[in-house]
Structure 1
Amino acid sequence: MEWLADRVILVWGLRRVALAILAGAIGVLALPPFGFFAAMFVSFTLLVWLLDGAAASPGSGLFRRLWPAFLTGWLFGFGYFVAGLWWLGHALMIDAEEFAWALPFAIFGLPAFLAIFYGLACVVARLLWSDGLGRIAALAVGFGALEWLRSVVLTGFPWNAVGYGAMPVPLMMQSAHVIGLAGVTTLAVFVFAAPALLGTKQGAKLGVSVAALLFLAHLGYGAYALYLTPAPQPASAKAPVVRLVQPSIDQMEKMDSDADRAAIFERHLQLSKEPPANGAKRPDIIVWPETSLPFILTENRDALARIAETLDDDQILITGAVRAEDMGPGNPPRYYNSVYVIDGRGQIVAASDKVHLVPFGEYVPFEDLLMQFGVQNVVEMPGGFSAAASRSLLNLPDGLKLYPLICYEIIFPDEMTGDIGNANAILNLTNDAWFGSTPGPFQHFQQARVRAVETGLPLIRSANSGISAVVDSHGRVVTGLGLNDQGFIDAPFGGVSARPAGSWMRQMYSGLLLGLLAFVALFSRMGFI
């Protein structure tokens, strides 16, 4: 591989730009719906060689010396995020007359911003760069630190973190239970970049051997967790049956002010009262997706009466809805993206509001400034949505406790805190119809499954157009409905896993890994390795 490494290291000009973008784009093949994790080996091997050649003129200042590394990482990130997030533009085309102008910003602008983190990751790596094994450790440190930073800056957006490329199937997800997404990302970059050592020889034997051992340990722990640890509690005959309703309503229909809102409501009710297949037990808990109700529920008493008519006395409905809060005379109401729990008598017995809102989707950052330029929410709501100060655990009448996460709240590992230790399951309501038949819904579903593995809790997920599923605490799909399927699925709720885990443990182990690799990179830089 030396001849190939030499050619990549020496490539220059537009060819270098194109190769860096292509290297990033190739890595997206490791993500859903493809799941070809081997693509990351190609992607990061090319990145290491490109960084080997990202040298400035001798005697240059610090900025000039680091600029080639930043630019290489930025181009790599730009290719990765354009190829992995182009589908965000689909949401803008739902109301093309209003938002088509913003399409370039969604497809290229957001990736250009996110790529800054990968540029900075390569700057961190370049500061610790050496000729051998150390540079692989340095790259892992850079990406591990900056991927975490990407999850918190400006409310964060950790979508498609590199670690997801190492977790395409449950066997390869289990490490996240111990070291979290941050730890998996750090080690994944080390492993994916290790083949680059074969092209430059220095440290190749040790580096590739360590990477191979890490990869085998990743698979080995997955096999141990899936087949040798205590399995999640099986569903008993008395276990509650959960029905996931997937109405698959087109987003244009949901947004059309002239649409028959009563018909949309009735479609949910009809799917809810359908008899179970093959004479099975009727559902105890019925779950509708995010913002299922096409009106403000508390302002529509007839709707609560219709829900009561549909449910048996001992059944429960969990639904996504918009909640309005009266702010007093002369003040506009506040709106919240919420979850309601409604009993068989049509009474709201529990509720929780969304905490982490989608920028430009549910609210406009720096609203006073940007509104002057015509920037507004994609979701039509006067003044946008308001964020709840904290998340409330949903206590169901039958004793189950659910940790509610609405839409993309579930992509944030660091938000799995608070009362989640008292929960029996994670509840995720979403509406991915915004993104049509693109990779977006598949990527979202994978990240939700990884949250189940991290926390050791089963996942109940209802999505308007899919993917709706019951997932066990090991990330395995118990039952579900595919993308764009319309219908319902019933599944007994099996209870809590035998291996719950706190976020502090994952954060501690991922931090130790980052520190260990930083020492390896530093010692290599100093010539000790």
Structure 2
Amino acid sequence: MRAVPALYALLAGLISATGFAPLEWWPVTPAAIALWLWLVHAAPTLRTAMWRSWLFGVGHFTIGNNWIQHAFDFQDRMPPSLGYVAVVGLAMFLAIYPMLAGGLAWRLGRRGPRPDMAFALVAGAAWIATEYLRAVVFTGYAWNPIAVIWVPTPLRALSPWIGTYALSGLTIVASAAILLPRARMRAGVLVALALAMLIPGDNMATPAPLGRDTPRVRVVQPNFEQEAVRSAGYDDRLLDRQIALSGRPGPAPRLVVWPEGTVNFYIEDGYPPPWYERSPLLTRARIASVLGPRDAALVGGTALFFDGDGQVAAAGNSVFSLTPDTRIAGRYDKAHLVPGGEYLPMRSILQPLGLTRLVMGDVDFRPGPGPATIAVPGFGPVGVQICYEIIFSGQVVDATHRPAMLFNPSNDAWFGAWGPPQHLAQARLRAAEEGLPILRATTTGISAVIDTSGAIVAAIPRHREGAIEVALPAAHAPTLFARAGNWLALGMIVLLLAAAIAMRRRTR
């Protein structure tokens, strides 16, 4: 019978992940969290509480990260079956954070035969702390914080005021409150959750009308699957398709944006001649051919870094700002690289074992300096976050040079069926949190223009070739979160713990 609570904990974790996209069965998540917290509170020892919490985490992250397996389908040097091992192995590591949260809740918040409000508050504070740690330890993996389940609902409007991690903590508190012994409290929580479920979220926004001189953005989605990368003529065909989808210039200024890494010819000058398959000026001229005198382009490509002997030392996953006269006005290098994807950690140990990174090539990528704003002539400062960089709450904007918008190019062809909608949901939360519109251009979808409330202005579905051209959404004034960042998460931890202490003293 001792195995039954452990099995329930694993089951609760599995079910809790269905609240995220693409299923978005978000009412299930608080119920599953409540079951987990009941099992934590009922645990006879700290070790048992942490064991049950770890099992909850294994289930939660195995389902939530199942899309990672798909990335292994494009490897010749590693079997696709290794992807299933990677998903479960990653889940077993990430489960350490719920394990710590459950252990803290049991140690600091457990009193009496049933969970009380103080226990709920401590559990919320513990979750905030451990979810934040998950986003920063070992470069961080912030995918799918609990707060993301609220993106389809009106509750995402709390994110500009308290931030993602604090919203996750309040979700834990509300879930634990379902267990409270007082019927009125339980009823209040359930009514609040029911209202959030019944009130439709503002998920789509009406595009602003396009006047003759209205600045606009054109988002290109070429719909080239990852399987095509090794086919003959791929680089030219991809470039030609994106040029064709970029449309023609008109009287109004246009910002044309392409996905991550889709210009596979080097476009910077100054590299040793053997590295050029063709003139970088010619490549830039082909892109600039679709730009009018008031237009600009943001395109994803690769930069090279050389050592003192003229040998390639590293590569950069980069975005280039191009002008109609073929100049490079700015460059951003991805800072949050994917371990095992863009570089192989502990290469001297793992490479002899037959492991390699998922992105093709023998040279590791070098991280850029962090959130940065680059110049886009005619459109002002633009912040860039490449691919999964957009998931890191509080780490996406250069606060000293606040941009007018964020550009999030990505190659979501790696991510199976579940990854792209989850990625989009997290980008929507970032837009609301920072009060900035986000332009998302991906290879196979979902590409979108997102306004400052997190609503989608326009989108291109997965596996569809196309482009969208809409008016540039205006930026919001800096939100409270944009000003204070994750200090708000720390403040929420202090507030929840202080309230828990006050409640315990009152009941003595």
**TM score, norm. by length of structure 2:** 0.89
Are 1:458 and 1:470, in contact at CA under 8 Å, matched by a contact in 2?
yes
Report the equivalent of 2:271.
Answer: none
For residue 218 of structure 1, report the CA deviation from its aligned partner. Answer: 12
- Give the letter for the 1:27 counterpart: S
Q: Is the 8 A contact 1:242 1:285 kept in 2?
A: yes
Please list the CA deviations of residues 112-135 of structure 1 after superposition, one character each: whole Å capped at 9, or x if unmatched.
Answer: 100111011100000121232222
Q: Is the Cα–Cα contact under 8 Å of residues 213 and 252 in structure 2 kept in the other structure?
A: no
2:240 corresponding residue in structure 1: 266
Query: For residues 196-345 of structure 1, what are the structure 2 equivalents within 5 Å?
Result: 196-197=179-180, 201=181, 203-206=182-185, 209=188, 238-254=213-229, 256=230, 258-273=232-247, 284-298=254-268, 299=276, 300-301=278-279, 302-329=282-309, 331-345=311-325
What secondary structure, in the 3-state scheme, does the structure 2 residue paired with 1:112 have? helix
Give the 5 Å matches for 1:347-366. 347-366=327-346
1:163 is matched by which residue type in structure 2?
A
User: Which shows bigger deviation, 410-419 or 308-317?
Assistant: 308-317
1:140 corresponding residue in structure 2:
124
Residue 170 of structure 2 corresponds to residue 187 of structure 1: yes
Aligned match for 1:414, one of 367, 387, 394: 394
Aligned equivalents of 1:423 and 1:417: distance in 2?
8
Partner residue in 2 for 1:149: 133
Residue correspondence of structure 1 range 41-120 to structure 2 within 5 A: 41-55=30-44, 65-95=45-75, 98-100=78-80, 102-120=82-100
Question: Tell me, what secondary structure is at the counterpart of 1:490?
Answer: strand
Contact 2:336 2:370 in 1 (8 A): no
**In the aligned structure 1, how far is the partner of 2:207 from the partner of 2:457?**
12
Counterpart in the other structure of 1:368: 348
SS of the residue corresponding to residue 78 of structure 2 reads helix
Partner of 1:459: 438
Amino acid at match of 1:448: A
1:54 deviation in Å?
Answer: 1.2
Describe the SS at the equivalent of 1:429.
Answer: strand
SS at match of 1:413: coil
In the TM superposition, what is the alpha-carbon distance from 1:239 to its structure 2 partner? Answer: 2.8
For residues 454 and 31 of structure 2, the distance between their equivalents in structure 1, rounded to whole angstroms, comes to 27
The answer for the alignment partner of 2:111 in structure 1 is: 130
Shift of 1:265: 1.3
Alpha-carbon distance in 1 for matches of 2:320, 2:306: 18
State the alpha-carbon separation in 2 of the partners of residues 182 and 83 from structure 1. Answer: 21
User: Which runs of 5 or more structure 2 residues have no equivalent in the other structure?
Assistant: 269-275
Q: Deviations over 1:210-233 (max 9, x none)?
A: 78669979999x99xx99xxx999
- Please point out which of 417, 426, 448 is paired with 1:447: 426
**Would you say 1:167 and 2:156 are equivalent positions?**
no
* AA of the residue aligned to 1:410: I
**Aligned Cα RMSD in Å?**
2.9
Any idea what SS the aligned residue of 1:340 has?
strand
Give 2:66's aligned amino acid: W
Query: In 2, distance between residues paired with 1:27 and 1:288?
Result: 35
1:17 matched to 2:6 = yes
Mapped to 2, the partners of 1:439 and 1:260 lie a distance apart of 26
Alpha carbons 1:172, 1:219 under 8 Å: kept: no
Give 1:147 deviation, angstroms: 0.6
SS of the residue aligned with 2:457? Answer: strand
* Residue 514 of structure 1, aligned match among 479, 493, 504: 493
Unaligned runs of 5+ in 1: 1-11, 56-64
Count of aligned pairs between the two proteins: 494
Moved more, 296-305 or 261-270: 296-305
Q: Once structures 1 and 2 are overlaid, which stretch shifts more, 384-393 or 68-77?
A: 384-393
The residue aligned with 1:32 is 21
Per-residue Cα deviation, 1:409-448 (whole angstroms, up to 9, x for no partner): 0000121342475210111010100123x11100000000
1:34 Cα deviation from its structure 2 partner? 1.8
**How many Å separate the matches in 2 of 1:420 and 1:475?**
23
Q: SS of the residue aligned with 1:352?
A: strand
Q: Note the C-alpha offset of 1:246.
A: 0.1
| Alpha-carbon distance between aligned partners in 2 of 1:142 and 1:44, rounded to the nearest angstrom | 14
Shift of 1:393: 1.2
User: CA offsets, 1:367-402, max 9 Å, x none?
Assistant: 222223222210012221001124431211104211
Structure 2 distance, partners of 1:453, 1:112, is: 31
Shift of 1:506: 4.5
Q: What residue is the counterpart of 1:8 in the other structure?
A: none
- 3-state SS in 2 of match to 1:100: coil
* Contact kept? 2:22, 2:422, Cα under 8 Å: yes
Compare the two structures and name the one with the higher helix fraction.
1
| 3-state secondary structure, aligned to 1:337 | strand
* Aligned 8 A contact 1:320 1:340 in 2: yes
Q: Deviations over 1:235-254 (max 9, x none)?
A: 76533111100001010112
1:474-513 to 2 correspondences below 5 Å: 474-498=453-477, 500-513=479-492
2:453 is paired with a residue whose SS is: coil
Deviation at 1:493, TM superposition (A): 0.9
Pair 1:424-2:424 in alignment: no
How far apart are the structure 1 equivalents of 2:197 and 2:485? Answer: 15
TM-score (norm 1): 0.86
